[in-house]
Amino acid sequence: MTRPAITCRDIQDLLGEVNAAGSALVDGHADASPLPEGPVRGRLVAAMQNLLAGLQDPVEKGLELIWQSHQNAAVRTCSELGVFELVPPSGKASLQELVDKTGADRQLLYKQLTIGKSSRWLDLHLPSLKLPEYLQRTAYGTKPDPDGFQTPLQYGENTKLDLFQWLKTKPEQFKTFNLAMESLTAKSLAGIEAYPFDTELGLNPSSTEDEILLVDVGGGHGQKVEAIRARYPDLKGRMVVQDLKEAIDEIQDAKGFKPMVHDFFTPQPVEGARAYFFCRILHDWSDQDCHRILSNTVSAMRPGHSRILILDAVLPDTGVPPLAALLDINMMLIGGMERSREQWVALFAPLGLEIVKVWAKKDVSIFEASIIEARLKG
Ligand SMILES: C[S@@+](CC[C@H](N)C(=O)[O-])C[C@H]1O[C@@H](n2cnc3c(N)ncnc32)[C@H](O)[C@@H]1O
């Protein structure tokens, strides 16, 4: 996707309009006076919307539109829980107070509040995935669904399959999904760029052409491996891309890797690779499912040699950016989640894994993520 032809000069002009409208709104008023209503405020809002429209790229704009329903769902859920009445208009309520008073699960309420806070409009349309209805059925995350639906997606689609098994029953949608994953790679390689695959993996004097350098688990059409090969053309060693049969069968021309059908809920057949790479995989799954996936990997790892690389977001403890909060809700719909560092550490601990480093590029958006490097303890 190409960016609209907006120049730095355009941005300067748009910033100028924001500043001018902002000054027209507040100049001449005392610091403590209430915000003046009227057309000048509307002018500032319009100037800021123009600036945002100029700055956002088409993918960011598209994701915002697609995920708008999550904001609606979060606002409706907060409304049904009575959260708005519990927070005084001019005051604050702590998360714990709200948990105590609503009886909702703490983690779930935090997500709804984060996204509700990011919402700029209180539109209460029914979301397509019936999230609020599902949350009611599960007593806001504190009880299992009476009919055994594990996720809002399952409830909304009346299926007991996980997202990918369900997509297998809709081949056209699965194809589109896989293509979307490819285009996200084309949009940004910042996650890949965060990790020095050459010095960390491939250019080690002991590496050989024959050894398995990297296994990309759930690697789709091989888009990430191709990007790694393009960035480091001198990397020695073999690479393997594993995925479900439906995704592997669509690979036309595998350059620089071996495609392999493999279900990551079964034991990893490639033993002793230098790296097992999970790119945007674990955020699709609950902690319990991640344990199943990772324990299949741990048993294939060679101690002191193999590592796990995870390209996913590491959420900040406070101030989660709006798009990241939306992504988190998006994952919740399918039973997954975005995780903070503390949550990653807790996820790894029972598997005997520890984080050795979180590799991240400075000033990149949450979508472009970071690479978490984990190894066997001891
Ligand atoms: C969010 S996509 C990420 C694709 C790719 N790693 C990327 O970053 O572009 C998730 C991938 O996991 C694959 N997947 C889902 N369930 C799987 C399973 N049980 N075994 C192997 N792959 C699976 C999907 O087919 C899909 O390619």
Task: Please list, in sequence order, all residues whose beta carbon lies within 8 angstroms of the beta carbon of residue 278, skipping any fewer than 6 positions away.
Answer: 217, 218, 293, 308, 309, 310, 311, 312
Query: Does any ligand 1 atom lie closer than 6 A to the CB of residue 225?
Result: no
State which of 264, 283, 331 you would mutate to test the pocket of ligand 1, scoring each by most atoms of that ligand within 8 A of its C-beta. 264
Structure tokens at 48: 């800021």
Which residue, 201, 213, 223, is CA-closest to 280?
Answer: 223
Question: Are the C-beta atoms of residues 370 and 313 closer than 8 Å to each other?
Answer: yes
Structure tokens at 361: 């590029």
Q: What pLDDT score was predicted for residue 3?
A: 52
Query: Does any ligand 1 atom lie closer than 6 A to the CB of residue 247?
Result: yes
Please give the chain's pLDDT, 378 residues, in tens.
455 578 999 999 999 999 999 999 999 888 888 888 777 888 888 889 889 888 888 888 888 777 877 877 887 888 888 887 887 655 677 889 899 999 999 988 888 877 655 543 332 223 345 788 899 999 999 999 999 999 988 988 889 999 999 999 988 888 888 888 887 776 667 788 889 999 898 766 566 667 899 999 999 999 999 999 999 998 889 999 999 999 999 999 898 999 999 999 999 999 999 999 999 999 999 999 999 999 999 999 999 999 999 999 898 888 777 778 888 888 998 999 999 999 999 999 999 999 999 998 876 665 567 899 999 998
Which residue, 294, 30, 292, 333, is CA-closest to 156?
Answer: 333
CA dist 203 and 300 (Å) reads: 23
State which of 188, 281, 292, 294 you would mutate to test the pocket of ligand 1, scoring each by most atoms of that ligand within 8 A of its C-beta. 281
DSSP assigned state of 351:
G
- What's the pTM value of the predicted model, to 2 decimals? 0.79
Which residue, 374, 179, 157, is CA-closest to 276?
Answer: 374
Task: Please list, in sequence order, all residues whose beta carbon lies within 8 angstroms of the beta carbon of residue 60, skipping any fewer than 6 positions away.
Answer: 323, 365
Question: Are the C-beta atoms of residues 18 and 44 closer than 8 Å to each other?
Answer: yes
Query: Does any ligand 1 atom lie closer than 6 A to the CB of residue 81?
Result: no
* Bridge partners for 277 per DSSP: 216, 309
Helix ranges (DSSP H) in 299-377: 322-332, 341-348
Look at strands 212-217 and 275-279 and give their pairing: parallel
Q: What pLDDT score was predicted for residue 177?
A: 85
CA dist 323 and 115 (Å) reads: 9
305 is a catalytic site residue: no
Query: Does any ligand 1 atom lie closer than 6 A to the CB of residue 240?
Result: no
Q: What pLDDT score was predicted for residue 291?
A: 98
Residue position matching structure tokens 């997509």: 167
Q: Tell me how crowded residue 224 is: count the other CB atoms within 10 A of its CB.
A: 25
Protein residue with its CA nearest to atom 3 in ligand 1: 280
Q: What pLDDT score was predicted for residue 60?
A: 81
Q: What are phi and psi of 269, to 5 degrees?
A: -80, -20
Query: Does any ligand 1 atom lie closer than 6 A to the CB of residue 179?
Result: no
- Which H or E run includes 51? helix 39-55
Structure tokens at 35: 């915000």
Q: What pLDDT score was predicted for residue 337?
A: 95
Protein residue with its CA nearest to atom 12 in ligand 1: 218
Q: What pLDDT score was predicted for residue 180?
A: 80
- Which H or E run includes 54? helix 39-55
State which of 243, 249, 286, 370 you would mutate to test the pocket of ligand 1, scoring each by most atoms of that ligand within 8 A of its C-beta. 243
Sign of CA dihedral 217, 223, 228, 234: positive
Query: Could you tell me the distance, in angstroms and rounded to a whole number, from the CA of residue 1 to the centre of ligand 1?
Result: 22
Query: Does any ligand 1 atom lie closer than 6 A to the CB of residue 80?
Result: no
Q: Is 114 helix (H, G, I), strand (E, B) or coil?
A: helix
Query: Does any ligand 1 atom lie closer than 6 A to the CB of residue 151?
Result: no
| Per annotation, catalytic residue among 70, 221, 262, 283 | 283
**Quick one: 268 exposed, middle or buried, by C-beta within 10 A (0-12, 13-18, 19+)?**
buried
Task: Please list, in sequence order, all residues whose beta carbon lies within 8 angstroms of the beta carbon of residue 316, skipping any fewer than 6 positions away.
Answer: 340
Angle at 109 (CA atoms; ends 108, 113), nearest 5 degrees: 120
Question: Are the C-beta atoms of residues 15 and 51 closer than 8 Å to each other?
Answer: yes
CA dist 312 and 126 (Å) reads: 30
Q: What pLDDT score was predicted for residue 275?
A: 97
